[in-house]
């Protein structure tokens, strides 16, 4: 969730409405500096708001709860006994995140998780968990099964010498008495496995040849010498409306990489989870983003390393956990519930200033207070944009660039992104102001101010100092931090990249009407001036989507037009009119009939499905435009039915008609066209139309690789089909 929880948004909205009109006007016109100070004053006098925020934080608690760990571990054991090893793995990880560091219970969680990893075949990670269990004081009486598990992993990995050493340690550690009967039986099994692995080592299996390898075109990339991480096809520009932006300086090839830049700061979106109500003790066992991805590098987690201080942060390795702690988590750790309550934007803003360091933050905030608001960098030697143009310096003078006009990823570059203060609503700025002030007040109350200001040595990181300020007033330094955070929260709406799920269908003039496209762009305070938008906006011309998906006259098949309930034929010689509701009703009935036809196919009645779909096609031709997308969908469905019957030529004929309509709507290089070509390639391959199949495969591969990259499953299948066809004898290729 980018913004604070709904309850906090509601409270701030009511507080805003209750303010004196003069104060609202002051806040609406306030600079970032003044907005923070007014926010400090309001929160200091509105103790009930702070108390309400504390209550909201209880619903997103991130402290460690041993009782929760016990519950998760028990559920993990149940899943393990039923053979649900993936579910058990997730629950053991949840249990580990709630156990206290160094406790025997934590070592048991790691040991249990190693058992699930062994069954899932993750032998290297299993060994890592065994090492974690041992380092956290795994109980001596339970060591035999863990050491045996370790030996088994080593054997599976072919590390025979290490496995033998592990077994020797086990044999020397324990007396071979009656208690060890089970272990001795297992040792015998492992010895047998060892013999088998030894045989494999002496007679290794031949290496498998790789199939379906992608031999794609080499990536087009030449680094820009003025903009780090950008293609040489780009240049950097600036204006007051759009801020710093990239421009194409030469033609760009479809699929060409334009920017390769690591994020200055990133925060894992927590994902949806059921908030605990007051007094609720039911533990949520579902996996959210917080359980699935590393909280620093964002890699997918298999066996997470929990933070030692909170139950929320989890990492892919101890290295990631240590780096995160040093850079920012030592400050964020105790604030987890507050950050979850106030949303990802506030979290990103705090982490940004922590990564930048207070010295750089205070320098740039002080620069922003200067009366000189020219478009130059804080460095005195940087010239304004106009002078740069005269000097031919390109990007020199663009805010965020250094004194030589070079763009580098840095806090300075981030700070100069436009916050669009004037475009945000006063209520939104008020919400953001109170939220960042609340975070800074908590930093001060928790004794973390020195950590934020980078005034502590590493030895002092785990020892927050009690707050000496009892007045509730923020220190001047923390007000500076709050101002920088407010700036970043406002910047994020236009400049953050939120990756939640990869979607292949984005906003495009072939898919959306102009009103929908402009609505999507409104959050960026951006008015699109592309030819398609200008044509629809300024001339009142109907969008391509509207024209091609329109109704046609039942008599002469010309386009029906009109904005009211009654549509009239566009052919002046034909006076036919029809109710929009009537035609829409026919369209809905037609869609239901198509569904029935597909239902017949699913139950094996292919012949009846063909009759139904052909009847639908004839009916559609009496009132739908020939270019209507539904006409293409029916061709696609008919191709599917004929393919089911093995009538490959008929299937290909209908699919080609579908492709024609899809290309009209979405373009010849669109992902939709790529998917249809993939289907056609499969049909031509199965129908043994070799030459046409190869050319279709080549075109489909070219389109889909631009949209998805070479590792896409469809591209892999296309490569396999191409390899299979290419291995056919030359005389067969010539005949086809």
Span 24-73, pLDDT tens digits: 999 999 999 999 999 999 888 888 888 999 999 998 889 999 999 999 99
How confident is residue 383, by pLDDT bands cut at 50, 70 and 90? Answer: very low
- Distant-in-sequence, close-in-space partners of 10: CB < 8 Å, separation ≥ 6: none
If you average pLDDT over every residue of the chain, what do you get?
Answer: 84
Measured from the Cβ of residue 449, the count of other Cβ atoms closer than 10 Å reads 25
Quick one: pLDDT at residue 68?
93
Name the least confident of 53-67, 438-452, 510-524, 630-644.
Answer: 510-524
pLDDT tens figures, 554-580: 888 888 888 778 888 988 888 888 888
Quick one: pLDDT at residue 218?
59
Task: Report the alpha-carbon distance of residue 310 to residue 96 in Å, rounded.
Answer: 11
User: What tokens does 317 get?
Assistant: 């390795």
Looking at the structure of the chain, the number of domains it has is 4
Query: What's the mean pLDDT in 349-378?
Result: 82
Q: Do residues 513 and 616 share a domain? A: no
Q: Is residue 120 part of a domain?
A: no
Backbone angles phi, psi at 584, to 5 degrees: -65, -35
Q: Do residues 350 and 445 share a domain? A: yes
More confidently predicted of 517 and 18: 18
Query: What's the mean pLDDT in 263-274?
Result: 81
Q: Do residues 638 and 564 share a domain? A: yes
Quick one: pLDDT at residue 684?
95
Range ranked top by mean pLDDT from 92-96, 218-222, 505-509, 687-691:
92-96
Task: Report the alpha-carbon distance of residue 710 to residue 704 in Å, rounded.
Answer: 8
Quick one: pLDDT at residue 632?
94
Backbone angles phi, psi at 246, to 5 degrees: -95, 145
Question: Contact at 8 Å (CB) between 444 and 294?
Answer: no
How confident is residue 194, by pLDDT bands cut at 50, 70 and 90? Answer: low
Q: Do residues 352 and 327 share a domain? A: yes
Q: Do residues 511 and 363 share a domain? A: no
Task: Report the alpha-carbon distance of residue 720 to residue 698 in Å, rounded.
Answer: 12
Q: Do residues 559 and 622 share a domain? A: yes
Identify the domain boundary among 583, 614, 645. 645
pLDDT tens figures, 590-601: 999 999 999 999
User: What tokens does 280 get?
Assistant: 């609720």
pLDDT tens figures, 327-336: 999 999 999 9
Residue 47: helix, strand or coil by DSSP? helix
Task: Report the alpha-carbon distance of residue 606 to residue 603 in Å, rounded.
Answer: 8
Task: Report the alpha-carbon distance of residue 533 to residue 508 in Å, rounded.
Answer: 10
Query: What's the mean pLDDT in 456-476?
Result: 62
Kindly report the pTM of this predicted structure: 0.79
Identify the domain boundary among 645, 679, 697. 645
Quick one: pLDDT at residue 284?
67
Q: Do residues 680 and 631 share a domain? A: no
> For residues 412-436, b (16+ Cβ closer than 10 Å) or e, as one string?
bbbbbbbbbeeebeebbbbbbbbbb
Task: Report the alpha-carbon distance of residue 114 to residue 100 in Å, rounded.
Answer: 19
Domain range for 328? 262-271+285-370+410-420+430-459+470-498
Name the least confident of 61-75, 95-109, 157-171, 530-544.
Answer: 530-544
Please return the burial class of 318, using the count of CB atoms within 10 Å of its CB with bins 0-12, 13-18 and 19+. exposed
Whether 209 shows a pLDDT value over 60: the answer reads no
Q: Is residue 106 part of a domain?
A: no
Q: Is residue 232 part of a domain?
A: no
Quick one: pLDDT at residue 401?
87
Q: Do residues 492 and 511 share a domain? A: no
- Distant-in-sequence, close-in-space partners of 16: CB < 8 Å, separation ≥ 6: 24, 426, 427, 430, 431
Quick one: pLDDT at residue 276?
39
pLDDT tens figures, 144-185: 889 889 988 998 898 888 888 887 887 776 555 444 555 556
Q: Is residue 534 part of a domain?
A: yes
Q: Do residues 267 and 415 share a domain? A: yes
Quick one: pLDDT at residue 433?
96
Task: Report the alpha-carbon distance of residue 576 to residue 583 in Å, rounded.
Answer: 13
Query: What's the mean pLDDT in 603-612?
Result: 95
Query: What's the mean pLDDT in 710-725?
Result: 91
How confident is residue 212, by pLDDT bands cut at 50, 70 and 90? Answer: very low
Q: Is residue 173 part of a domain?
A: no
Quick one: pLDDT at residue 155?
87
Q: Is residue 166 part of a domain?
A: no
Q: Do residues 341 and 289 share a domain? A: yes
For 154-209, where are the E strands, in sequence order? none
Q: Is residue 109 part of a domain?
A: no
Whether 544 shows a pLDDT value over 80: the answer reads no
- Distant-in-sequence, close-in-space partners of 561: CB < 8 Å, separation ≥ 6: 550, 567, 568, 569, 570
Q: Is residue 348 part of a domain?
A: yes
Whether 682 shows a pLDDT value over 80: the answer reads yes
Whether 200 shows a pLDDT value over 70: the answer reads no
- Distant-in-sequence, close-in-space partners of 671: CB < 8 Å, separation ≥ 6: 504, 505, 703, 704, 707
> For residues 552-581, b (16+ Cβ closer than 10 Å) or e, as one string?
bbeeebbbbeeeeeebbbeeeeeeeebeee
Quick one: pLDDT at residue 44?
83
For 532-689, where are the E strands, in sequence order? 560-561, 566-569, 577-579
Task: Report the alpha-carbon distance of residue 131 to residue 587 in Å, rounded.
Answer: 65
Whether 188 shows a pLDDT value over 70: the answer reads no
List residues bridging with 624 in a β-sheet.
551
Quick one: pLDDT at residue 384?
35
More confidently predicted of 544 and 305: 305
How confident is residue 393, by pLDDT bands cut at 50, 70 and 90? Answer: very low
Q: Do residues 516 and 612 share a domain? A: no
Nearest Cα to 613, choosing from 642, 584, 648, 646? Answer: 642
Torsion angle, CA of 94/95/99/102, rounded to 10 degrees? -100
Q: Helix crossing, 66-81 with 104-120: angle to 10°? A: 30
Quick one: pLDDT at residue 525?
78
Q: Do residues 346 and 485 share a domain? A: yes
Question: Contact at 8 Å (CB) between 693 and 725?
Answer: yes
Identify the domain boundary among 614, 645, 676. 645
Element holding 305 (H helix, E strand):
strand 305-306
């Amino acid at each position: 969730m980018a913004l604070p929880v709904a309850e906090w948004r509601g409270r701030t909205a009511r507080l805003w409405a209750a303010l004196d009109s003069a104060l609202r006007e002051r806040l609406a016109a306030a600079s970032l500096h003044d907005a923070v100070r007014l926010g400090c004053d309001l929160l200091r006098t509105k103790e009930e708001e702070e108390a309400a925020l504390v209550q909201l934080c209880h619903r997103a608690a991130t402290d460690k709860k041993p009782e929760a760990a016990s519950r998760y571990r028990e559920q993990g054991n149940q899943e393990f006994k039923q053979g649900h090893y993936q579910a058990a793995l997730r629950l053991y990880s949840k249990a580990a995140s709630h156990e206290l560091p160094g406790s025997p219970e934590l070592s048991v969680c790691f040991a249990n998780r190693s058992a699930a990893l062994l069954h899932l075949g993750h032998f290297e990670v299993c060994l890592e968990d065994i090492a974690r269990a041992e380092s956290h004081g795994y109980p001596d009486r339970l060591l035999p099964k863990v050491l045996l598990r370790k030996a088994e992993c080593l054997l599976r990995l072919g590390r025979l010498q290490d496995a033998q050493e592990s077994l020797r340690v086990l044999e020397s550690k324990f007396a071979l008495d009656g208690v060890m009967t089970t272990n001795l039986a297992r040792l015998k099994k492992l010895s047998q496995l060892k013999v088998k692995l030894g045989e494999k080592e002496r007679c290794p299996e031949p290496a498998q040849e790789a199939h379906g390898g992608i031999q794609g075109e080499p990536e087009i990339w030449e680094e820009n010498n003025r903009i780090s991480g950008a293609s040489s096809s780009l240049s950097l520009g600036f204006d007051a409306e759009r801020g710093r932006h990239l421009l194409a300086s030469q033609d760009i090839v479809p699929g060409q990489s334009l920017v390769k830049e690591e994020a200055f700061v990133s925060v894992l979106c927590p994902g949806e989870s059921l908030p605990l109500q007051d007094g609720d003790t039911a533990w949520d066992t579902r996996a959210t983003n917080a359980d699935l991805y590393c909280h620093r590098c964002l890699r997918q987690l298999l066996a997470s390393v929990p933070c030692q201080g909170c139950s929320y942060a989890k990492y892919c390795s101890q290295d990631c956990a240590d780096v995160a702690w040093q850079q920012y988590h030592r400050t964020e750790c105790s604030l987890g519930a507050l950050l979850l309550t106030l949303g990802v934007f506030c979290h990103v803003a705090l982490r940004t200033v922590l990564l930048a360091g207070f010295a750089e933050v205070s320098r740039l905030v002080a620069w922003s207070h200067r009366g000189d608001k020219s478009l130059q960098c804080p460095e005195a030697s940087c010239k304004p944009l106009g002078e740069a143009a005269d000097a031919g310096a390109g990007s020199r003078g663009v805010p965020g660039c250094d004194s030589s006009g070079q763009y580098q990823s840095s806090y300075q570059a981030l700070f100069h992104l436009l916050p669009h203060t004037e475009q945000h609503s006063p209520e939104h700025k008020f919400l953001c102001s109170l939220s960042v002030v609340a975070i800074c007040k908590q930093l001060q109350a928790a004794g973390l101010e020195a950590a934020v200001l980078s005034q502590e040595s590493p030895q002092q990181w785990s020892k927050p100092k009690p707050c000496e300020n009892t007045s509730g007033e923020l220190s001047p330094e923390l007000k500076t931090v709050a101002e920088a955070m407010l700036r970043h929260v406002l910047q994020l709406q236009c400049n953050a990249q939120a990756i939640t799920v990869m979607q292949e269908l984005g906003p495009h003039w072939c898919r959306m009407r102009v009103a929908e496209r402009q609505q999507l762009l409104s959050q960026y305070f951006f008015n699109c001036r592309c030819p398609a938008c200008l044509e629809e906006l300024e001339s009142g011309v109907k969008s391509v989507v509207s024209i091609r998906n329109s109704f046609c006259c039942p008599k002469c098949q010309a386009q029906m037009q009109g904005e009211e309930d009654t549509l009239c034929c566009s052919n002046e010689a034909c006076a036919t009119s029809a109710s929009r509701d009537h035609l829409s009703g026919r369209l809905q009935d037609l869609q239901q009939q198509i569904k029935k036809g597909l239902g017949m196919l699913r139950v094996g009645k292919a012949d009846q499905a063909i009759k139904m779909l052909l009847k639908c096609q004839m009916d559609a031709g009496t009132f739908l435009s020939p270019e209507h997308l539904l006409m293409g969908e029916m061709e696609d469905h008919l191709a599917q039915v004929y393919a089911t019957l093995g009538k490959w030529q008929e299937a290909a004929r209908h699919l080609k008609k579908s492709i024609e309509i899809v290309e009209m709507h979405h373009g010849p290089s669109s992902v939709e066209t790529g998917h249809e070509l993939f289907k056609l390639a499969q049909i031509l391959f199965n129908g043994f139309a070799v030459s046409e199949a190869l050319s279709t495969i080549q075109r489909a591969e070219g389109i889909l690789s631009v949209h998805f990259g070479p590792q896409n499953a469809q591209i892999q299948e296309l490569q396999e089909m191409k390899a299979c066809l290419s291995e056919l004898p030359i005389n067969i290729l010539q005949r086809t």
